[in-house]
Amino acid sequence: MSVPLHLVCPHCAAVNRVPAARLADAPSCGKCARPLFTGHPVELDAARFDRHIGRNDIPVLVDFWAPWCAPCRQMAPAFAQAAGMLEPTVRLAKVDTEAQQALAARFGIRSIPTLALFRGGREIARQAGAMGAADIARWVKGHAG
């Protein structure tokens, strides 16, 4: 029997229990019935950030970015592509540091784009600067285990 994992729905933020062995079976949310994995990063505000970081049993990779940042905009398609490469074992999310300034300050984001990898509610790795999709996936796999 597979150990159940808690997964936060990217649509309604409900916490779902999914057996680890069923992650690749395209699980749906028990509350809103939408897919738990979409192949796209989840946009997070402060409340959704805390829920995703604190309640997901899989690692969460967060891209701290801003709309005015050219390297951030250049990396956005690669980050989205990495979501398709890393799901369902890693959740990818984006935080707009302009709209969520308190969240950026809380994590000491000094340059953007900055990728931060979280597991079990705490940050386990950080990387500043734009990266390609393959580099993002390789970096995450090297730190997430």
Structural domain spans, the chain? 38-144
69 labelled catalytic = yes
- How would you class 60 by CB atoms within 10 Å of its CB: exposed for 0-12, middle for 13-18, buried for 19 or more? buried
For 4, the 3-state DSSP assignment is strand
Given 9, 29, 32, 72, the catalytic residue? 72
Given 9, 12, 29, 69, the catalytic residue? 69
- C-alpha radius of gyration, the chain, whole number: 14
The answer to whether residue 130 scores a pLDDT higher than 60 is: yes
12 labelled catalytic = no
The answer to whether residue 145 scores a pLDDT higher than 90 is: no
In the chain, what percentage of residues exceed pLDDT 70?
99
How confident is residue 2, by pLDDT bands cut at 50, 70 and 90? confident
The answer to whether residue 1 scores a pLDDT higher than 90 is: no
Superfamily of domain 38-144: Glutaredoxin (3.40.30.10)
Quote the Cα angle for 89-91-94, to 5°. Answer: 160
Residues 51 and 136 sit within 8 Å (Cβ to Cβ): no
